[in-house]
Amino acid sequence: MAVPDFADWLAICNLKAAYCRLLDTKDWEGWKQLFTVDCVLDTTDSGGTREQGRDIFVAQVSAALAGAKTAHHIHSPQIEIDGDRAQVVWAMQDRVIRDDFALTGYGHYHETCVRTAQGWKIAEQRLTRLILDVEQPAG
Say whether 139 sits in a helix, a strand or coil: coil
Which tens digits make up the pLDDT trace of 42-67? 999 988 899 999 999 999 999 999 99
The pLDDT score that the predictor gives to residue 1 is 52
Q: In this structure, is residue 123 part of a structural domain?
A: yes
CA distances, 126 to each of 23, 50, 93, 114 (Å): 16, 9, 14, 15
Q: In this structure, is residue 1 part of a structural domain?
A: no
Q: In this structure, is residue 139 part of a structural domain?
A: no
Q: In this structure, is residue 76 part of a structural domain?
A: yes
CATH of residue 21's domain is 3.10.450.50
- Give the H or E element holding residue 137: none
Q: In this structure, is residue 101 part of a structural domain?
A: yes
Q: In this structure, is residue 91 part of a structural domain?
A: yes
pLDDT of residue 28 exceeding 60:
yes
Domain that holds residue 53: 6-133
Which tens digits make up the pLDDT trace of 1-22? 556 689 999 999 999 999 999 9
Pick from 69, 76, 81: nearest CA to 3: 81
Q: In this structure, is residue 85 part of a structural domain?
A: yes
Q: Count of domains in the chain? A: 1
The pLDDT score that the predictor gives to residue 82 is 94
What lies within 8 Å, CB to CB, of 49 at 6+ separation is 43, 60
Which tens digits make up the pLDDT trace of 82-126? 999 999 999 999 999 999 999 999 999 999 999 999 999 999 999
Q: In this structure, is residue 138 part of a structural domain?
A: no
